[in-house]
Copies of this chain bind each other. A is one copy, B any other.
Amino acid sequence: MQTIEKWKRYELTLPGPTGGNPFRDVQLTAIFDHNNHPITVDGFYDGNGIYKVRYMPEVEGDYTVTTYSNVSELDGITDEFNVTSAQENNHGPVRVSGKTHFAYADGTGYIPFGTTAYAWTVQPKEVQEQTLETLKENKFNKIRMLVFPKSYDYNTNEPAIYPFEGAPKVKRGGTDWIFDASDTGFDFTRPVPEYFQNLENNIERLDKLGVEADLILFSPYDRWGFARMGMENNLQYLKYIIARLASYKNAWWALANEYDLMDLVGQIPLKDWDRIGQFVHEKDPSQHLESIHNFYDPPQHKDTIKNWYDHTKPWITHLSVQSDNVFLVPKWIEEYQKPVVDDECRYEGNIEFGWGDNTAHGMMDNFWRVILRGGGCSHGETYIDKPNTDRPIWWAHGGKLYGESQKKINFLYDLLKDNGFTWVKPQATSGPTWELAAGSTPDEKKWLVYFGDNQPEFELFSFLPDGKKYSAKLINAWDETIEDFDGEITNNEKFHLPRRPYQAMLLTEE
C-alpha cells in the first residue's frame, strides 16, 4: 500500500475523455475515508486526457479512496493509502491558534513575516528562479502572490502563457482596467493546465523553502478580463483552483486584492463576496486560511474601516489589512478576535506612489510595530533604477531585492525565534508609553520593547508587572546589534537610555 506523509499530497491520476470541454462536461469527485470520517474532494482535468484527484491527509492511518463521475471510466475507481507521521521540517499547514494568532498544525509557532511579489510566477523563468533564490536568502515565511497576471504601471508586458485559452482581443495599457466584459479574447471555461502547473510547482517550491503562498484569487489589476468573468465562471474557476491546490499545505486563500476597488471599477460587485467566500470555504476539504484584502484611498485607512469587508463572517479566518496606521493592530485583534496581518503598510522603494516610497527605516519600523503589537506584517519593495524601467521590481515581478529592510526584518525574525516568541502577546498598547511597541512571550517571561524613532532618555516601563525584575539587553534594530544593558528593569524605576533611533530592549524575568 502506498504511504503518504501526513500533510503531504496524495494524488490519483486517471486517464479519461478528451472530447467536448473536459473542464466543464466531466464531473469527478472522490470520497476519502479514514476511520469512518468521509471527506468529498473534487478532481480536475489536467489536460492531455489526464484527470487528477488530490488530497492532503491530516491524520495518520489508513485511507480509502472511491471516485464518482458522470463518465464511466472515471467512476467507481478505488484506492487506498497509509498516512505516516510527519518528518522533521513538516509542520503542516498554518492554522488559527488561540483565536488571535497562528500556529502550524503540529503546534509550532508561526508569526507572519510576509513579503509581496504579486506576479512573480508569470515572469520569465530566470526571474522566477531568482525570486526563489531571494526567498531562500531571507526569512520571509509568507508571500502574497496572484493567480492571474497583473496589469498596472510597471506591469505592461504580456505573460508568456495565459490562465485561460485564447489571447487578448484588444491591446490595453497597464491601468486600462475598465472595459466591456464581452471584449475579451479568452474562453473562461477552458483553463490552460500548463499555466496552473507552473503555479503549483512554484507553490511546492515555496513550501520547500518554508514559505506560505498567500494566493490572491482575484485582483482588480486586470486588462484581460479575468476580473470580469461573471459569477458562474468565477465559481468554476474557484472549484478548479481548489481541486488543484487545496492539497498544497502552504496554500492560503486570499479572496481578493483590494476587493472594494474591484467594485469601484465595475469588476466584481461588493455583494458577490459573501457567495465567493462561502463557496471557497465549502469547497476546500483542507480548510486553508481565508482572507479578503481592502483598498480604498489610503488616507482614509487612517481613521476608518468602513470600507472593509465584514471580517466577522465565519469563512474569514483572519484579517488581511491595508493600512499604515500600525497602532491599530491590537485594537483590531481585540475587536474581531481573529489574527491580523498588515499585508500592506507601505513598501520600501523610490517610486511615485504613496504606497511605494517608504524608506528601509520606515519598512523596518512598521514590522517591529506590527509584530510586537501581535500582528503579522508584510514587506514589499519598489525600487526602480530609472523611469519606465525593465528591471524587475520585487513587489510585482520578484527577482532581486535592492533595499535594506529585509535584513532588519530577518534580524527581528531571528530575535523572536531565539527568544521563544511562538506568538507575540501585545502589551502596553495604551497608557503613558503608547508610542512604543511592546510585546511579550505568551508566558510573559520575556518582553521586547521597541522605541522606534522616539527618544526617551529617562524611561519608565510602568506597564511591567508589579514585583518583577528583569535583566535587559539593548538592541539596535537598524544596526542589528544586541548588547548587555547595565542595570535591572522594574516597573517603578526610571532608567537612562542613549538618545539613538530604532532602539529596543529585550527583558528577561529574573
Of the candidates B297, B304, B325, the one whose C-beta lies within 8 Å of that of A434 is B297
Bitwise interface map of A from 325 to 359 toward B, beta carbon under 8 Å scored 1, else 0: 10110010000000000000010011111110111
Q: Contacts A387-B458, A454-B359, A458-B387; is A432 near B353 (CB within 8 Å)?
A: yes
Residues from chain B with Cβ under 8 Å of A432 in the complex = 352-354
| Residue from B359, B454, B455, B458 in contact with A501 in the complex, judged by beta carbons closer than 8 Å | B359
Asked if A24 CB lies within 8 Å of chain B CBs, one says no
Cα separation A325 to B326 with both chains bound (whole Å) = 12
Known: A303-B325, A357-B435, A434-B297. A453 touches B352 (CB 8 A): no
Residues of B within 8 Å of A359, CB to CB, are 453-455, 501
A387 vs B460: C-alpha distance when bound (angstroms): 11
Find chain B residues with CB under 8 A from A303 CB: 302-304, 325, 328, 331
A306 to chain B, nearest CB (A): 11
Asked if A494 is an interface residue, CB under 8 A from chain B, the answer is yes
The interface centre, meaning the residue of A328, A350, A429, A460 with most chain B CB atoms within 10 A of its CB, is A350
The verdict on A459 contacting chain B, using a C-beta distance below 8 Å, is: yes
Max chain B C-beta neighbours (<10 A), residue from A362, A429, A432, A433? A432
Q: Given A352-B459, A454-B358, A456-B352, is A325 in contact with B346 using a C-beta cutoff of 8 Å?
A: no
The distance in angstroms between the C-alpha atoms of A357 and B456, with both chains bound, is: 5
Whether, in the assembled complex, A299 has its beta carbon less than 8 Å from a beta carbon of chain B, the answer is yes
Is A434 a contact of B327 with CB atoms below 8 Å? no
User: Which residues between 399 and 458 of chain A lie within 8 Å of chain B, taking CB atoms?
Assistant: 429-436, 453-458
Question: Do A297 and B460 have beta carbons less than 8 Å apart?
Answer: no
Closest Cβ–Cβ distance, residue A490 to chain B (whole Å): 14
With an 8 Å Cβ cutoff, the count of chain A residues facing the other chain is 46
Tell me if A124 is interfacial: C-beta within 8 Å of chain B. Answer: no
Interface residues of A in 463-510 (CB under 8 A from B): 494, 499, 501
Question: Using Cβ atoms and an 8 Å threshold, which residues of chain B touch A313?
Answer: none
Interfacial chain B residues near A352, Cβ < 8 Å: 432-433, 456, 458-460, 494
Q: Complex formed: what's the CA distance from A433 to B453 in Å?
A: 23
Q: Could you tell me the distance between the alpha carbons of A501 and B357 in the complex, rounded to whole angstroms?
A: 12
Nearest CB of chain B from residue A505's CB, rounded to whole Å: 14
Query: Is there a chain B Cβ closer than 8 Å to A169's Cβ?
Result: no
Report Cα–Cα, A295/B173, bound state, in Å: 50
* CB–CB A354/B433 < 8 A: yes
Q: Does A171 have its Cβ within 8 Å of any Cβ on chain B? A: no
Whether B458 pairs with A386 at a CB distance below 8 angstroms is yes
Residue pair B350, A430 in contact (C-beta under 8 Å): no
How many whole Å from A491's CB to the nearest CB in chain B? Answer: 12
CB contacts under 8 Å to B, within A271-317, are 297-300, 302-304
| Chain B residues with CB under 8 A of A499 | 350
Give complex CA distance A37, B362 in Å: 60
In the complex, the answer to whether A297 meets B455 with C-beta atoms within 8 Å is no
Question: Smallest CB–CB gap between A144 and chain B, Å?
Answer: 20
Interchain CB contact under 8 A, B304 and A457: no
Report yes or no: A351 in contact with B458, Cβ–Cβ below 8 A.
yes
Task: Tell me the bound Cα distance from A303 to B358 in angstroms.
Answer: 22
Residue of A429, A455, A459 contacting most chain B CB atoms (<10 Å): A455
Interface assignment of A74: CB less than 8 Å from any CB of chain B: no
B298 and A434 contacting across the interface, CB-CB below 8 Å: yes
The reply on A384 being an interface residue by CB < 8 A is yes
Q: How far is the CA of A198 from the CA of B205 in the complex (A)?
A: 77
Q: How long is the Cα–Cα vector from A298 to B432 in the complex, in angstroms?
A: 9
Q: Is the CB of A325 within 8 A of B351?
A: no
Is A354 touching B434 in the complex (CB atoms < 8 A)?
Answer: yes
5 inter-chain pairs at a CB distance below 8 angstroms, sorted by A residue, are A299-B430, A303-B303, A352-B432, A357-B435, A384-B457
Which 3 residue pairs are nearest across A and B when measured between Cβ atoms? A354-B435, A350-B457, A357-B456
In the complex, besides A302-B303, A350-B456, A354-B433, 18 extra interface pairs with C-beta distance below 8 angstroms are A298-B430, A299-B327, A299-B328, A299-B429, A300-B430, A302-B325, A302-B327, A303-B304, A303-B325, A303-B328, A346-B435, A350-B458, A352-B460, A352-B494, A355-B435, A357-B456, A359-B501, A386-B458
Which residues of A pack against B, CB within 8 Å? 297-300, 302-304, 325, 327-328, 331, 346, 349-355, 357-359, 361-362, 384, 386-387, 429-436, 453-460, 494, 499, 501
